Structure 1
Amino acid sequence: MTAEELIIRYAAGERNFAGITLSTYDIEKGDFRGISLQGINLRGADLSEAPLHGVDLTDADLTGVILESASLEGAILRKAKLYSANLFCCCLVEADLTDAIMSRMNATCANFRGARLPSYGFERAILIEADFRNVSIPRYLICRGNNLIWDTTMPDGTIEKFPSLLNTGVNDASKEEERGLCLIPSAYILSLISGYFLPSIFS
């Protein structure tokens, strides 16, 4: 499907685009910037490198979506389902992710600077080299829930350097400095990542 066709079909009332793939060529031709795609179903879609600046994806189903190197700067993703999404090198600067579901996402090298994140955080997410400077949630909501932390930049600009799984309770703010840091061998990381997500996103 081309980007132009997706936009036309959405405007005509269609909402289910599960599993679509947009080629880099088609993405570069399409202009998604600032358009409304509220409630769209893009489960498992490949939107790598898509220019989605300011797009409104409120309540969108983005389960398992591939957004590698995509730009969602200033995008609206309120209540969006990003469960098991691939956000590798994705730009989410100042995006609004209020009440979004982000557990089990791969946010390796993702940029969340200044983003509004879910007030309850997320769990079992891969956050290697992710940037959370100036986000709306405190450090302890990032360092919890078996999230994989490694060279991860925290809201205050400090960096968690060593690979670790962090498992602090969501209401355990008073124990932020005792948040159950568990250093794990680097050799274990790759095998851990490969099994971090559920095998099926369509069930």
Structure 2
Amino acid sequence: MTRDELLVQYADGVRDFSRASLSKVDLKGANLTGAYLGGAGLSKADLRGANLSRANLSGASLSGANLSGANLSGANLIGAHLNWADLSGANLTGALLNQADISGANLSHTVLEGAQLSRSYLIGANLSGANLKQATLAQCSLNKADLSDATLVETNLTGAKLKQCKLTRADLSRADLTGASLKQANFQEAYLNWADLSQADLSETDLTRANLSKANLTGVDLRQACLDATQLSGTNLSNTDLSGVDLSGKLLTGAILKGADLSVANLSGAYLIQANCAGANLTAANLTGAHLMHTNLSEANLSGANLTKANIVQPNLRGAKLSGVIQPNGKVRK
């Protein structure tokens, strides 16, 4: 089908173009609002600036298509093939992209606010600067995707695969990342305040200068994570694996570290003022010069911990294990 045939039929009121063969067709700027293009072949088609709002493109092949600046708001793209498509600057507000293949696509500065992308396949996609506020990306595959500077406020990313993703300066405040796979992801300067990261895998992630204030990191794996200048004030780190992690000088005021594994962790100079470390494992932890004012250490295991020159004021040590502790005065407790 040619461009003219399609547009003439559309002008005559035809809306059903299901399974139409339109690969490589020039449709830039075309108005196809509400058109039914389910299963259509649009690979490598030129749809720059086209109006496809509320169009049904479920199962359509748009591989390599140019959709830059296109209006796809409210469009049905369930199961569509958008791999290597150019969606830069497109409007996908409220679009349905569940189970769509968007791997390798360019979605930089795309508006995806409120879009549904559950179980979508976005491996290697470029989403830098994209607006994904309140979008649903549960169970998505986003490994190695570029999401730098993206707006992901209140986005549902439960169970999403974000391994080795680039999320520098991304805004993930209040996002739901429960159970997400985030290993080796780059969160430098990202906003994760109030985000839910419970049970997520954050091992080997780069969280340099990231804001995790008031975030929920219950049961998170943070082994070998880089936490340089990371904001952790008021963060919930209950049952989190922080063994061997460098938290020296960290502001952990009011943080919840109940049952956390902090064995061999470096907490020298850390501010644990009013932190809740009940039941935490602090065996052989380095707490030299740490600030432990009104800290809850009840039932915590501090065996072999180094508390030399620690600032300790009215801590709760009820039931704590203190054998072999190096006390603030440098003496070893028997």
TM-score range, shorter chain: 0.7 to 0.9
Matched, 1:168 2:161: no
Matched, 1:71 2:66: yes
Relative to 1, partners in 2 of residues 1:181 and 1:39: Cα closer, same or farther, differing over 3 Å? Answer: farther
TM-score calculated relative to the size of structure 2: 0.46
Aligned alpha-carbon RMSD (Å) = 2.7
The DSSP-based 3-state class of the residue aligned with 1:126 is: coil
- Moved runs in structure 1, 4+ residues, more than 4 A? 176-179
Whether the 8 Å CA contact 2:57–2:76 is kept in 1: the answer is yes
Match of 1:61 in 2: 56
TM-superposition CA deviations, 1:18-45 (whole Å, max 9, x none): 1111244xx2xxx311121100000000
Matched, 1:109 2:104: yes
Amino acid at match of 2:200: G
**Structure 2 unmatched runs, 5+:** 151-161, 166-175, 179-191, 204-334
The DSSP-based 3-state class of the residue aligned with 2:39 is: coil
Match of 1:8 in 2: 8
The DSSP-based 3-state class of the residue aligned with 1:148 is: coil
77, 82, 86: which is aligned to 1:82?
Answer: 77
TM-superposition CA deviations, 1:166-189 (whole Å, max 9, x none): x836xx983354473499xxxxxx
Please give the alpha-carbon distance, in whole angstroms, between the structure 1 residues aligned to 2:201 and 2:100. 20
Please give the alpha-carbon distance, in whole angstroms, between the structure 2 residues aligned to 1:118 and 1:128. 20
Total equivalences in the alignment = 169
Task: Choose 1 or 2 for highest CA Rg.
Answer: 2
Whether the 8 Å CA contact 2:95–2:116 is kept in 1: the answer is no
TM-score calculated relative to the size of structure 1: 0.74
Whether the 8 Å CA contact 1:37–1:55 is kept in 2: the answer is yes
Please give the alpha-carbon distance, in whole angstroms, between the structure 1 residues aligned to 2:141 and 2:164. 12
The DSSP-based 3-state class of the residue aligned with 1:4 is: helix
Matched, 1:18 2:27: no
Amino acid at match of 1:118: E
Relative to 1, partners in 2 of residues 1:3 and 1:118: Cα closer, same or farther, differing over 3 Å? Answer: same
Match of 1:192 in 2: none
More strand by share: 1
Shift of 1:141: 5.0
> Aligned residues: percent identity?
30
Match of 1:96 in 2: 91
**Structure 1 unmatched runs, 5+:** 184-203
Match of 2:140 in 1: 147
Shift of 1:57: 0.4
Whether the 8 Å CA contact 2:130–2:149 is kept in 1: the answer is no
Q: Report which structure shows greater RCO (CA 8 Å, sep ≥6).
A: 1
149, 154, 179: which is aligned to 1:156?
Answer: 149
Whether the 8 Å CA contact 1:32–1:52 is kept in 2: the answer is yes
Relative to 1, partners in 2 of residues 1:179 and 1:125: Cα closer, same or farther, differing over 3 Å? Answer: farther
More helix by share: 1
Please give the alpha-carbon distance, in whole angstroms, between the structure 2 residues aligned to 1:134 and 1:84. 24
Shift of 1:149: 2.0
Please give the alpha-carbon distance, in whole angstroms, between the structure 2 residues aligned to 1:33 and 1:22. 13
